[in-house]
Amino acid sequence: MYGPGDIVAVMVGVAVEGPYSYRVPANMSVTRGTVVGVPLGPRLTLGVVWGKPNDEIGHNRMRNIDFSFDVPPLSEELLRLVEWVARYTLAAPGQVLRGVLRSPEALDAPKPVVAYRRTGMEPEKLTPARLRVLDTLTDDMPWPKAALVGASGVSTSVLDGLERAGALEKLEIPAPPVVFPPDPDAAPSALNPEQQAALDRILGLDPKRFGVALLDGVTGGGKTEVFFEAVADTLRAGRQALILLPEIALTNTFIDRFTRRFGTKPAEWHSDMTPVQRAKVWRGVLDGTVRAVVGARSALFLPFRELGLLVLDEEHDGAYKQSEGFTYHARDMAIVRAQFSEARVVLSSATPSVESRNNANTGRYAHVRLESRFAEAAMPDITALDMRTDGPEKGSWIAPSLAREVFAALDRGEQALLFLNRRGYAPLTLCNACGHQYKCPDCSAWMVEHRFRGVLMCHHCGHETRTPKHCGECGEVDSLVPVGPGIERVAEEAAIRFPDARRVLLSTDMGSHAQLRERFAEVERGEYDLIIGTQLVSKGHHFEKLSVVGVLDADLGLAHGDPRAAERTFQILTQVAGRAGRASRHGKAFLQTYHPDHPVMKAMVSGDREAFYAQEILARKAGGMPPFGRLAALIVSASVHDHAINFSRTLLSAAPMADGVKLLGPADAPVSMIRGRYRVRLLAQSARDFDLSGYVRFWLSSAEKPKGDLKIQIDIDPMSFM
Ligand code: ADP
Ligand code: ZN
């Protein structure tokens, strides 16, 4: 506790190196974790009391804390997380703290709501509407106005009338909680023996200690059912639970499942929420009224004070990496947070990351498996279609043998899915007359045609132009041709081949989150026969009638020269193939590939995922790649190419010598220009047990600072190498 006159360190939510000192004014007491408002320059800003300042010498220009918020202090564990994440990712602690204080509205006391209560006096005139209101208010309990209007089906003027007549009393009551506490015993699933064994192993982790379980189970094995029981166990123990999902804005089924299991909705946390909803959840998490949250990666920074379990569903998913602002990986940071809060972690996936698999192999994580699908469902049969011999005719994208299988599925009244992980109509547009290729003016990338919207679009910066009618270079009319397929082009072919099927195109361009959610619900209800989609459809959905999956370009991800290309391709193919036959039907998946002998395709076809992981782990070990080595990327950018290259060279020459650190580059990034800025990459590689963040911090602090429009972006543990 600090009282009037004490000098304290306050971390402000601004990208500065460390906390500033402030004096505690009269009539205020604060403690480490108290959220305060402090003057910073000419304005007030949010901050958090961090403790004693390093140097406590007061001076007469030291400013007072302006006010403190009436909310519980942030937990020690959260403050340590902020410091840890900042140190590890090389972000300023204030920048990470801003991620914690994301909902400033939450700090003000919640507004009370208007409510009505019976006075006991009968009004002289009793209309049917008035009666309904009085019947609703059976006891002395006040009802919030909105609830009363809803329950009795009257207009608010009826309430006003009853109040004037003296029969109702208007009062203010505290706002109801944003969600009700989930009931761990509402509707538990009867687990099958394999699921029960998995749960027992997870619950075997000491509930009061840090521990991680990798729930490694086939798609449709019932992983969700199992981790729900771990959530229930946590709730019973009086601790809070956090479930992270990679793409929560689109997964309505998950919220429904939670609601059925726990008898009430979970609190949600994602980008589609209004500031008011966010504020309620944030505050509820802090004051403990919210017991379970289902959220996107940023939910990791919510102010839990009693966190007992973190679940990461689809733990391998790339969406867990935040690549803007400070770059962090939610899986790694979840583990750190769990360590600080002595919590358990469940990492769930049918295709775990190589990192997590390795931790399970070495015994750092409990390796919990689910080998068979729930009930009657069987794993799909996977076939590679060799495009060199069995490919489609020129100008079409669906191989004849795949088309036959789709027909057969439709004939049986089942659903089929055509998958291509590329948005738009065609990835390249060129002029037949002069050979001109349409490129983004600001990026080193082709403009992708989106025919549905009638535009050419850059997928790196979002730049758009109307699709031209004549070549902008040579002026020739009707000479522009699309090259290669995007998902819209597949949909066009599907319309010709399967005209009678009820078709739906699912890609992020096809509508708002709400509209897409609606489409998914329709697919689940069986209102479509043929689903044509991108990555969006591969994640977590449960389409009961889906029995045939066709992947039109299984090689797509392998082309990237990135250390995780094989892993990612394996994951996405397994996930999308895993949509087939999730209920009792026998599923089949077909992979159109030019490389049927590639280890990824072989592992897919043989179903030998163990061989794939073993081989991938060996390759990573041999190359000193994660998780056996560490990587840090420095991306230097500038509007003039020479400036970026020259500065990268200067940086490189300033790199301190250290045993076991290898520096690679500078080299132009694969996407060498984005938004008019040239990008040059440096890569540092070290052994696992080396503090690479510390090394890079030391390096940058001793090197020349970027001037002019030069920028350095640091990415510790990079996931993307573009
Ligand atoms: P996963 O998360 O491993 O892909 P899910 O948890 O989605 O698998 O389970 C697949 C399907 O099987 C779901 O429809 C789920 O409701 C059902 N299911 C799995 N386990 C059970 C169980 N013990 N009782 C009832 N239904 C189950
Ligand atoms: Zn662009």
pLDDT at 583: 66
Residue 257 predicted with pLDDT over 80: yes
Among 20-24, 417-421, 539-543, whose mean pLDDT is lowest?
Answer: 539-543
pLDDT tens digit sequence for 32-49 = 999 999 999 899 999 999
Residue whose CA is at the smallest distance from ligand 1 atom 21: 222
pLDDT at 371: 87
Residue 374 predicted with pLDDT over 80: no
In percent, the amount of the chain with pLDDT more than 70 equals 98
Query: Separation of 606 CA from ligand 1 center, angstroms?
Result: 25
pLDDT at 585: 67
Alpha-carbon distance of 246 to 572, in angstroms, equals 14
Atom number in ligand 1 closest to CA 226: 6
Identify residues whose C-beta is under 5 A from ligand 2, the ion: 440, 442-443, 458, 460-461, 463
pLDDT at 376: 67
Ligand 1 neighbours by CB, cut-off 6 Å: 189-192, 195, 217, 219-225, 374, 542
Band of residue 251 on the pLDDT scale cut at 50, 70, 90: confident
- Average pLDDT for the chain: 92
Among 176-185, 432-441, 536-545, whose mean pLDDT is lowest?
Answer: 536-545
Residue whose CA is at the smallest distance from ligand 1 atom 19: 222
Query: Separation of 585 CA from ligand 1 center, angstroms?
Result: 15
pLDDT at 513: 86
Classify residue 299 by its DSSP letter.
Answer: G
CA atoms within 13 A on the CB side of 67: 7
Alpha-carbon distance of 634 to 680, in angstroms, equals 8
Query: Separation of 461 CA from ligand 2 center, angstroms?
Result: 4
Residue 252 predicted with pLDDT over 90: no
Query: Separation of 500 CA from ligand 1 center, angstroms?
Result: 32
Query: Separation of 220 CA from ligand 1 center, angstroms?
Result: 6
pLDDT at 49: 97
Band of residue 344 on the pLDDT scale cut at 50, 70, 90: very high
Residue whose CA is at the smallest distance from ligand 1 atom 26: 189
Query: Separation of 15 CA from ligand 1 center, angstroms?
Result: 45
In the sheet that holds 464-466, the strands lie side by side as 448-450, 455-457, 464-466
pLDDT tens digit sequence for 6-19 = 999 999 998 888 89
pLDDT tens digit sequence for 59-114 = 667 899 999 999 999 999 999 999 999 999 999 999 999 999 988 888 888 888 89
Three-state DSSP class for 47?
strand
Band of residue 379 on the pLDDT scale cut at 50, 70, 90: confident
Residues written for the chain: 722
Which ligand approaches the C-alpha of residue 674 most closely?
2
Task: Please count the other Cβ atoms lying within 10 Å of the Cβ belonging to residue 256.
Answer: 12
Atom number in ligand 1 closest to CA 192: 23
Best of 199, 218, 223, 224 for a ligand 1 pocket test (most atoms within 8 Å of beta carbon)? 224
Q: What residues have CB less than 8 Å from 357, skipping those under 6 apart?
A: 214, 216, 613, 617
Best of 192, 202, 225 for a ligand 1 pocket test (most atoms within 8 Å of beta carbon)? 225
Band of residue 584 on the pLDDT scale cut at 50, 70, 90: low
Three-state DSSP class for 383?
strand
Residue 272 predicted with pLDDT over 90: no
For the residues 294-322, what does the mean pLDDT come to? 96
Band of residue 631 on the pLDDT scale cut at 50, 70, 90: very high
Best of 374, 524, 582, 585 for a ligand 1 pocket test (most atoms within 8 Å of beta carbon)? 374
Band of residue 58 on the pLDDT scale cut at 50, 70, 90: low
pLDDT tens digit sequence for 190-245 = 999 999 999 999 999 988 899 999 999 988 889 999 999 999 999 999 999 999 99
Burial class, 650, CB count within 10 angstroms (exposed 0-12 / middle 13-18 / buried 19+): middle
Residue 138 predicted with pLDDT over 90: no
Residue whose CA is at the smallest distance from ligand 1 atom 9: 222
pLDDT at 56: 64
Residue whose CA is at the smallest distance from ligand 1 atom 5: 222
Alpha-carbon distance of 71 to 157, in angstroms, equals 37
Alpha-carbon distance of 77 to 73, in angstroms, equals 11
pTM, to two decimals = 0.91
